[in-house]
Amino acid sequence: MQTASAIPSTAQPALRAEAVSKAFVSGQQRTQVLAGLSLSINAAELTLISGPSGCGKSTLLSVLSGLQKIDSGRVLALGSELGQLDLRALERFRLQHTGFVFQGFNLFPALSAFEQVELPLNHMGMTRDEARARARRSLEEVGLAHRMKLRPSELSGGEKQRVAIARALAKEPELLFADEPTSALDAANGQMIIDILHRIAHTHGTTVLCVSHDPRLVIHADRVLAMEDGRILSDRRNHAPIIDSKEISS
């Protein structure tokens, strides 16, 4: 087991947080969620951040993906400092470089699986044919080639999450963020989702950062960061599958 916030000695990290602090204020109450946290995430890996609920892992994800501003410190994503970008520039950065998968699948009820995936591509300035080709390829990759014409109401939970992954994947992002992607799914479907995320990291060279408290995921991750009270407690690499996941939080 390595020490907390250790930086692996591989190439230039895709994501880097330097002394990041973030607090939420509600009324008189001020809650420090992240306190001077530093870490680096590598490309072409599936990194899992695990920890009990309220430990700040979702906040860390939103900060690293540029969805939320930080109070102090720096976040560098693909060499850009996110704190320097205004709202428009952040939107543009996300459009070009990032994909998201959320716990809820957040699919438009009116659109078919194919249209869900095609829709964000329309905004990336590619031709209609290219967008459609990419959408098809992406849905094939998650194993939904035969379900493309169906609406969310006709898909199972696992299939919906695969559509959501295809929607993120079709953008061919360098960074893919997933927040509790399996918590609404049964074991078999959860397994399938994590396999897909793992494969995306390895075949596309995508930096996949996944946040979850689901212990089933731990053995599939290339690297596991355990978080508690806004700090990284442990940072461990799975060179071979390790079954006992409880040691990091004990």
Partner 1 sequence: MVALARKTLIYEWRRFLPAMLAVGFAGLLQLLQIALVLGIFGSTSLYITGSSADVWVGYPGTQSVGQGRSIDADVASRILMDPAVERVEQYLWVDGDWRGPRETGGLSVFVSGIDPSANGLMFSRVLPLALRRRLAEPDAIIVDRSDLQQLGVGLGQYATINGHSVHVVGISQGLRALGGINVLCSLDTARRIDNDPTDNGPTYLVAKLRDPAQAGQVAARLRGDTAFGPYTTWSAADFASLSVRYWLFDTGAGAGVLFLAGIVFLVGAVITSQTLIAAVNGSVREYATLNALGVGVAALRRVVLEQAFWVGALGLLGAGLLGIVLLLLARSQNVPVVLNLPAALACILLVLGLAAVSGLAAMRSLRRADPATLLR
Select from 45, 159, 179, 214 the one that contacts partner 1 (CB under 8 A).
179
- Cα–Cα dist 19/21, whole Å: 6
Select from 119, 133, 150, 242 the one that contacts partner 1 (CB under 8 A).
119
Reading the block at residue 114, the tokens are 């194919």
Helices (H) and strands (E) in the chain, counts: 6, 10
Strand partners, 21: 72
CB atoms within 10 A of CB 115: 16
Select from 168, 217, 221, 227 the one that contacts partner 1 (CB under 8 A).
168
- Cα–Cα dist 16/26, whole Å: 28
Residue 80, interface with partner 1 (CB under 8 A)?
Answer: no
Total binding residues for partner 1 by CB under 8 A? 39
Residue 130, interface with partner 1 (CB under 8 A)?
Answer: no
Can you tell me which residue has the tokens 């098809």?
Answer: 136
Length of the chain as a residue count: 250
Which span sits near partner 1 by CB under 8 A: 5-13, 109-117, 141-149, 235-243? 109-117
Residue 58, interface with partner 1 (CB under 8 A)?
Answer: yes
Residue 92, interface with partner 1 (CB under 8 A)?
Answer: yes
Find the helix packing angle between 128-141 and 113-122, rounded to 10°.
Answer: 130
Interface ranges with partner 1 (CB under 8 A): 58-59, 61-62, 65, 67-68, 88, 91-96, 98-100, 102, 104, 106-111, 115, 118-120, 122-124, 128, 151, 164, 167-168, 171, 179
